[in-house]
Amino acid sequence: MDWFKRKKNSLQPAQKKDMPDGLWIKCDSCAEIIYRKELEKKYYVCPKCDHHFRIGYETYIDILCDEGSFKEFNKNLLSDDPLEFKDSKRYSEKYKATVKKTGLNEAVITGSATVDKQPVIMAIMDFRFLGGSMGSVVGEKISRAADKALELKQPLIILSSSGGARMHEGILSLMQLAKTSAKLARLARHNVPYISILTNPTTGGTTASYAMLGDVHIAEPGALIGFAGPRVIKQTIGQDLPPGFQRSEFVLDHGFIDFIAHRHELKRRLSHVIQFFLHQNEAS
């Protein structure tokens, strides 16, 4: 269980921006006041109610990958603002400001790593970067990760945390759904395992493409998972939504994810699934 103990200094400064500052943190769910160090040690899971706080990619690397094994690739892919999009401000400026604020280059980080010594290709989305939205760069990085998994015949793991496709790149964002799905179809044809991990939230175009195309779908507890956002649905049908609607447990009940894994169990269960797929039966 040494993966459970985190290094105190492994938190990057960017992480702090998403979490409230201070020594004490109030749980979003049960309002319990938690000592920050305690929460860190628990990978941001509330010790009282098991609420899973939203976390950044670097914490997931700590949780899932063997220490020091993650090697990022395609880090320098940047959006080109193909539409010269502008609402109240320019997309290109918003993008630059987001890069500066978060210290991230895009809403997904891809690389190679090992999980309990098993080599894998990993893509981890990060909600801090424009709501984890999928534009051209996210689509391209995921596609290249799938190509890499195929080339090396190593399992692909995509951890989603995304509000959906990025509006600022219009039709080009939409086409990333088709592109990533085509790459995953190719991977599937070569029997390379692909495991999709769904965290809070996974909605819109992300769900309508790679997040729902895994050989195995693993969700964190209580994550919002769906196609349309709850507000849109509520507005369309003009009535309240049932309790727990579009949460992991609801989606599991309706048959679209394979199992829910507590964050503290995520690596162990993921690792076993990978091991299972790679194991070759031989006559004794």
Partner 1 sequence: MALKKQKFVYDFEKPVVELENKISEMKEYALSTGVELTDDIKRLERKAKQLRKEIYSNLTRWDRVKLARHPERPYSLDYIERMCSYFEELHGDRKFADDKAIVAGLAQIDDYSVVIVGQQKGRDTKAKLHRNFGMPNPEGYRKALRIMQLAEKFNKPIITLIDTPGAYPGIGAEERGQAEAIARNLFEMSHFTVPIINVVIGEGASGGALGIGVGDRILMMDNGWYSVISPEGCAAILWRDSGHAPDAAEAMKVAANDLKNLNIVDEIIQEPEGGAHQDADKAAEIVKKTIIKHLNELLKIPVEQRIEKRIEKFSKMGAWKEK
Contact residues: partner 1, CB under 8 A: 76-83, 85-88, 135-137, 139-140, 143, 165-167, 169-179, 181-186, 188-189, 204-205, 207-213, 226-228, 232-233, 236-237, 241-242, 245-246, 254-256
CB count within 10 Å of CB 255 equals 7
Q: Which is nearer to partner 1, 3 or 127 (CB)?
A: 127
Nearest to 104 by CA among 141, 68, 69: 141
Shortest Å distance, C-beta 84 to partner 1: 9
Shortest Å distance, C-beta 237 to partner 1: 6
Q: Which is nearer to partner 1, 115 or 251 (CB)?
A: 251
Which residues have C-beta within 8 Å of that of residue 33, sequence separation ≥ 6? 24, 25, 26, 27
Q: Which is nearer to partner 1, 135 or 221 (CB)?
A: 135
Which residues have C-beta within 8 Å of that of residue 256, sequence separation ≥ 6? 212, 217, 225
The three-point CA angle 255-260-265 to 5° equals 160
Shortest Å distance, C-beta 221 to partner 1: 19
Shortest Å distance, C-beta 138 to partner 1: 9
Token output for 192: 């390379």
Q: Which is nearer to partner 1, 66 or 72 (CB)?
A: 72
- Angle between the 266-278 and 57-64 helix axes, to the nearest 10 degrees? 60
DSSP for 146-159, please give it. HHHHHHHT--EEEE
Q: Are 118 and 152 in contact (CB under 8 A)?
A: no
Q: Which is nearer to partner 1, 136 or 200 (CB)?
A: 136
Shortest Å distance, C-beta 276 to partner 1: 23
